[in-house]
Chains A and B, each alone.
Chain A
Amino acid sequence: ETGVTQSPTHLIKTRGQQVTLRCSSQSGHNTVSWYQQALGQGPQFIFQYYREEENGRGNFPPRFSGLQFPNYSSELNVNALELDDSALYLCASSLKIDFLNTEAFFGQGTRLTVV
């Protein structure tokens, strides 16, 4: 196991609602990246948090937001859910040393279904 845990594992929400997904990073890691993976597609980068600050963002609207806490765990929040937000959401934990990336470890994912 990677030591990266995500919760919940499955979630069903109604269009227009808000959702919060959680990720506990591996011990000693200071960086968390979030990805959206639609069925049959590769993961798409949402954003990365490094030492509690957003460190980069992909092509996702502002209704996708995040947080990183002092223990380096992280949350992904999505407001005003749309049907197309249905996907597997992955978080990846890594250690960034002087802005150099080490290997990322993925959580098991949260399967979000918007109806």
Chain B
Amino acid sequence: KNQVEQSPQSLIILEGKNCTLQCNYTVSPFSNLRWYKQDTGRGPVSLTIMTFSENTKSNGRYTATLDADTKQSSLHITASQLSDSASYICVVSFQTGANNLFFGTGTRLTVIP
């Protein structure tokens, strides 16, 4: 069964600290893996996208890693800011098909001053 699981479910950190979010998936074969940031009541915004051949991708203070062998990905946030408070969703996609996006359960991050 194609699944995407994320941990932790929620996380509270102090402003300025780093954190790492985890994503494990069983989707196969997969085309790419994306991390999205979703503010409450808003659409997801893409942070990074990686194909199976890429190991790491950075976007400012966000760095995603991918291990296609173990089917694991992580999103590392450096020097967190209050505006980083949001849900972070890992999405794994098939290359073909209509319903080709498999959404993780999300990690709710809260950054406190």
From 59 to 101 in chain B, residues with beta carbon under 8 angstroms from any chain A beta carbon are: 89, 93-101
**A55 proximity list for chain B (CB < 8 A):** 98
Q: Are A42's CB and B103's CB within 8 A? A: yes
In the assembled complex, the Cα of A83 lies from the Cα of B93 at a distance in Å of: 31
- A56 and B41 alpha carbons, distance in the complex (Å): 26
A90 engages B104 (CB within 8 Å): no
**Is B46 part of the binding interface, using a Cβ–Cβ cutoff of 8 Å?**
yes
Q: Give complex CA distance A4, B96 in Å.
A: 22
CB < 8 Å A-B pair total: 62
Residue contact B43 to A101, C-beta cutoff 8 Å = no
Q: What is the number of residues of chain B that contact chain A, defined by CB distance less than 8 Å?
A: 25
Residue A111 at the B interface, CB < 8 A?
A: yes
> Are B41 and A109 interface neighbours, CB within 8 A?
yes
Contact A101 B103, beta carbon cutoff 8 Å: no
Digitize A100-115: 1 where CB-to-B-CB distance is under 8 Å, 0 elsewhere.
Answer: 1101111111010000
Interface residues on A, range: 20 to 34
Interface assignment of B8: CB less than 8 Å from any CB of chain A: no
Report the nearest B residue to A10, measured CB to CB: B41
Mark out the residues of chain A between 79 and 115 whose CB falls within 8 Å of any chain B CB in the assembled complex: 88, 90, 92, 99-101, 103-109, 111
| Residues A58 and B99 in contact, CB atoms below 8 Å apart | yes
Known A6-B43, A42-B105, A103-B32; further 10 A-B contacts with Cβ < 8 A: A33-B98, A48-B98, A90-B43, A90-B44, A101-B96, A101-B100, A103-B34, A106-B46, A109-B42, A111-B41
Give 13 CB contacts A-B under 8 Å. Answer: A2-B43, A42-B106, A43-B44, A43-B101, A43-B103, A48-B98, A56-B98, A90-B43, A101-B95, A101-B100, A103-B32, A104-B93, A106-B46
